[in-house]
A and B are shown apart, each in its own frame.
Chain A
Amino acid sequence: MSESTAPIARPPAPTREHYLNVKYGIKSWLLTVDHKRIAILYLISITAFFFIGGAAAVLIRLDLATPAGDLVSSETYNKLFTIHGIIMVFFFLIPSIPAVLGNFLVPIMIGAKDLAFPKLNLLSWYLYMIGGSFTLWAMIAGGVDTGWTFYAPYSTTYANTHVIATALGIFVTGFSSILTGLNFMVTIHMMRAPGMTWLKMPLFIWAQYATSIIMILGTPVLAITIVLIAIERLLGVGIFDPALGGDPVLFQHLFWFYSHPAVYIMILPSMGVISEVISAFCRRAVFGYKFIAFSSLAIALLGFLVWGHHMFVSSQSPYAGMVFSLLSFLIAVPSAIKVFNWTATLYKASISYQTPILYAFGFIGLFTIGGLTGLFLATLAIDVHVHDTYFVVAHFHYIMVGGAIMGFLGGLHYWWPKMVGKLYPEAWARFSALVIFVGFNLTFFPQFLLGYLGMPRRYHVYDPEFQVLHVLSSAGASILGIGYLIPMVYFLWSLRYGKDAGPNPWDAKGLEWTIPSPPTTFNFEEPVTVGDVYDYPTEDETPPWKQGSSEGAHV
């Protein structure tokens, strides 16, 4: 199978066989059914998409540095924010934690050898790549200017850009998401090791399970909506076009029925990461395990009942608006439960301030701001004032970037030693976490003010009175951009020069830390039985890193 040898430096001295070196060559990667290798494939692909989407954001922010929008034309500007939104939502955020960390960790954390359907897992990646290629092609061939929301009838009747090809790309990628969710659900139901009852599962697994529910129930609705958009565009039939007897609000209902829950596809996995990271670096089980576990499920289910808060001003009945407003307030409760429990866990803990928990701190603070401003938007009267302004833009970036990406980066730092067997350079990592935090807030906090003052979103040209805040935001974006490049560099650097991680560099609990890093192809050599995955020593014991020896000797 492996006739071509990839230029990967073999580690010196006694080479242990693990999933990375068991086979070499491009074919061994493209045909792999090992969940860990598929996770790596996803990691590479979503990183590429992240930097494409990020480049679009940089151009947008550069252009907005002047009120007249001197850098690009208005048409190009519309295409840029559309590319940014579509790539970041469908090709980065939604697959990010589930397809990378989830793929890698779900089987290991529950003591299984692989996901229930390994070939389906590989198919998911191929679907993702096919959908991504379609979308990229559409962008290179001329782009789309509908915004990531594809609102009809603009997208179906008036836009003269590559709507159908982009829609097709998203349609195909949707099935990758569905198959990943299906695989996780079956795996979590059927393949837990003896002793791992539902209430002994790691909280990350609960989060993945809740996310999978949304993936399998929400994504098909988006799929059919996209099909209808394409058909209406192709045939000129007015399902969504009011001029032809259709209903544009119907499109909004269908679109947000998926796209609101999709926010929870992005944030729930991050919450799972934060629970794991906090317990590992506070060296105690997370306070209120059951509350955190069940609040994930509550978020997944309630998340399907609030989509109407996107249509408060779209001719939706005011009574429906009131119900959706109330439900949107309700869904803040399970999120708040998580935040309170994390905070209670941190209280008086002997915390080790390593990079992953810095990201967890960032997550808790920024997610809370994002969540609370979400309540502003869920309030009917305030929403009339701030809807479609930069206030909304700032709100969802606090959730999706401040929340979801912080969680992804925290998790990537936490499990990187497990994934590649090497430690990343801690000082650089802390530094870049700080840069990202500062850059993020400088980018998006001014946008709350902009929105409150009345700056509409998606505008290419704006009043000069807004320039100061826009310049602050653009300055923040360039800091943020650099902040994201630093981890990219030192992660790659660590592959070759990083210190050997050993099986458990954090002295953390959980099944993934009981096996060597990187793991072998089938994860576990011996049959696994599970006790308590959060079995941390009693409170007063001095953690090993404070005794001077950081050698990860696990029990």
Chain B
Amino acid sequence: MSEIGEHHGALAHHFEDLEQQRQSADLGMWIFLATEIMFFGALFAAYAVCRWMNPAGFSTGTSLLDVPLGTVNTAVLIGSSLTMVWAVQAGHRGDSRSIIRNLVGTLLLGSVFLVIKALEYSHKFHDGLVPGSLFTYGGEQAAGVEMFLCFYFVMTGLHALHMVIGFGLLVWLILLARRGRFTKEYSNPVEGVGLYWHFVDIVWIFLFPMLYLLEH
């Protein structure tokens, strides 16, 4: 069923050459990211409207979040973007060992992020600061605080889900690199996943101030 191209093992049967295949993959990833922007964009818009309608509840909610942990996580994530850039550069050189090293670095930093995130989540659960039946916050503006926390969990949860998907992609790349599939001519999967990873980082760059810092 899957015919292998005559020129290069990685060339799919329906493409003329590797260049066309690379550009198609790149364009596909950019278009996918455009849909992601609309996905998160609509969520941000809903957040903005709800915040505008419940300003007091949302700023109380903001003050309940752990800014130091969020800051550390921001730094960790930016670090993972750096290792990702190095991996992409190594891909352009066709240097499999360096690709693997940097992808593993990205994976580790990403895991640190998720561990810290899980820590934050568990504190929130412990304090009854989760929307729904476990919500025990008794202070003022309880409904607004609950709505804020709902957005907090949905937004950071979707972001974390994107990171978990990213982990899968990183592992896939590492396996491909170990099999020596990447050469100077062909490393576009690394590039595509790189784009994705940076996008997920940028989402966090927006989430962090919106959720943690915007107290008024």
| Residues of chain A whose beta carbon lies under 8 Å from any beta carbon of chain B | 1, 31, 33, 107, 112-118, 178, 182-183, 185-186, 189-191, 216-221, 223-225, 227-228, 231, 234-239, 244-247, 250, 254, 257, 522
Contact = CB atoms under 8 A, between A and B. Distances in A.
Given A113-B13, A234-B132, A246-B147, A182 B31 contact: yes
Given A114-B13, A183-B28, 12 more contacts: A1-B1, A117-B24, A178-B35, A182-B32, A190-B23, A217-B34, A221-B41, A224-B40, A227-B154, A239-B46, A247-B50, A522-B14
A231 B38 CA distance: 19
Contacts of B23: 190
Interface string B122-147: 00000000011000000000011011
Nearest to B52: A247
A221 B42 contact: yes
A167 to B, nearest CB: 15
7 contacts: A113-B14, A186-B27, A190-B27, A224-B39, A236-B132, A239-B147, A245-B54
B131 A237 contact: yes
Contacts of A247: 49-50, 53
B5 to A, nearest CB: 12
Nearest to B12: A118
Interface residues of B, number: 37
A227 B161 CA distance: 14
A514 B20 CA distance: 25
Contacts of B42: 220-221, 224-225, 254, 257
Interface string B180-203: 000000000000000000000000
Contacts of B205: none
B164 interface: no
B87 to A, nearest CB: 23
Contacts of A190: 20, 23-24, 27
B143 A238 contact: yes
A326 B158 CA distance: 37
B18 interface: no
Interface in B7-43: 12-15, 20, 23-24, 27-28, 31-32, 34-36, 38-43
A216 B150 contact: no
Interface centre among B39, B41, B42, B45 (most CB of A within 10 A): B42
Contacts of B146: 237
Contact of B53 (A217, A223, A246): A246
B27 A239 contact: no
B46 A250 contact: yes
Nearest to B49: A250
B131 A228 contact: no
B13 A235 contact: no
Contacts of A239: 46, 50, 147, 150
Contacts of B144: 245
A89 B123 CA distance: 43
A117 B28 contact: yes
Contacts of A231: 150, 154
B57 interface: yes
A221 B31 CA distance: 15
Contacts of A220: 35-36, 38-39, 42
A1 B1 CA distance: 9
A107 B34 CA distance: 23
Contact of B24 (A186, A235, A236, A245): A186
A469 to B, nearest CB: 40
Contacts of B13: 113-114, 522
Nearest to A216: B35
A254 B40 CA distance: 12
Contacts of B50: 239, 245-247, 250
Nearest to A243: B143
Contact of A235 (B20, B32, B132): B132
